[in-house]
Amino acid sequence: MERPLRLPAAVAAALHVSLAGLLAAAVLAIFVFAPTEETMGLTLRILYLHVSVAWAGLACFLLVAGAGALYLLRRDLRWDHWAAAAAEVGWLCSTLTLITGSLWAHAAWNTWWTWDPRLTATAVLWAVYCAYLILRSGLEDPHRRARAGAVLAVIGLIDLPMVAMATRWFRGIHPPSPQMEPAMRLALLLSALAFTGLFGLLVACRRRQLQLQEMLLRLEQDSDV
Amino acid sequence: METLIAAYLVALVAIVLYVARLGAEQQRIRRTLESLQSQHENADSAGPPASKAA
């Protein structure tokens, strides 16, 4: 039975301290150093959170599909643990993307929702995450669960270019990458890095838990025998 | 201003709830591990099975 991967304590502590520093820097950049935009005012600061969680949601789905594909190739449940952990965190990011986007839309366009191509593709991604999690929760056998999830994730990958490129391929209300002042660009970069680090840490913690759960299940089965 | 606060508050609450869920799951894993450990110790102290002893 393989031991769960664990970083040396000093490396883990250094990573945690760096992440805390990055998050603090991002909060300062978003709320103190980034200039207030003239038209949207303070509401524009939602952008730093919205773009960061949207990016993290996409990155998590890439991980879900990538780990799923590796599971299908190698039949190793460790890849499925990565996929399952990334799907939970990705669902969280995707939900936050829709909520923060909706709040932004209400302030900017005076509507909570519109069937813009980017918004629709993002809603489809959220639905794929939901389907993935519901499908997994309905299957008991770990390998059957991993296989079904991996197939769904690989199929769901079709939606990713739609989310990323919708503003270039189709005409809609959602703006493509806007022109920004350097200070705003820096705040956006810092927040994207900080949120990616935070969600990456959550994925790593959850993956370790899933691996421990599987090891415990095997121990319980062995002790029953 | 209210919209800005609402957006960041929702994100904060969602992340805190997810971390709390991870914490609860970790507690459950620890309890299961402890119960397995005590079962194992009890089995050891009870000695070898009768068929093997015979």
Q: Which of A83, A88, A80, A65 is nearest to A151 (CA)?
A: A65
Q: How far apart are CA B24 and CA B30, in angstroms?
A: 10
The Cα of B53 is separated from the nearest Cα of chain A by a number of Å equal to 19
Report the Cα B26 to chain-centroid distance in Å. Answer: 3
Percent of chain B predicted with pLDDT > 70 = 85
Any idea what the Cα angle at residue A216 is, between residues A214 and A218, rounded to 5°? 70
Q: How far apart are CA A86 and CA A41, in angstroms?
A: 34
Nearest CA in chain B to A89: B18
**Tokens, residue A13:** 């502590």
Q: How far apart are the first and last CA of chain A?
A: 17
3-state secondary structure at position A62: helix
Query: Which among B1, B14, B39 has CB closest to A42?
Result: B1
**Tokens, residue B37:** 């450990």
Q: Which chain A residues are closer than 8 Å to B15 by Cβ?
A: 92, 198, 202
**Tokens, residue A199:** 């969600």
CB atoms within 10 A of CB A148: 17
Q: What CA–CA distances, in Å, run from A210 to A99, B28, B48?
A: 28, 12, 34
Q: Which of A79, A67, A93 is nearest to A163 (CA)?
A: A93
**Tokens, residue B7:** 């957006």
CB contact under 8 A, A202 and B19: yes
Per-residue pLDDT at A12 = 85
Residue A206 sits at the chain B interface (C-beta within 8 Å): yes
Under a CB-based contact definition with an 8 Å cutoff, are residues A26 and B8 in contact? no
Per-10-residue mean pLDDT of chain A, 225 residues long, equals 67 90 93 83 89 95 96 93 96 96 91 91 95 94 94 92 86 77 91 95 94 87 71
CB atoms within 10 A of CB A107: 18
Q: Which residue has the tokens 């959220």?
A: A126
> What is the band of B43 on the pLDDT scale with cuts at 50, 70, 90?
confident
Per-residue pLDDT at A168 = 83
Q: Inform me whether the pLDDT recorded for B54 exceeds 80.
A: no
Q: Among the residues of chain A, which ranges form H helices?
A: 9-28, 46-74, 77-109, 117-137, 142-156, 159-169, 182-224
Q: Inform me whether the pLDDT recorded for B46 exceeds 90.
A: no
Q: Which residue has the tokens 């002790």?
A: A223
Q: Which chain B residues are closer than 8 Å to A202 by Cβ?
A: 15, 18-19, 22
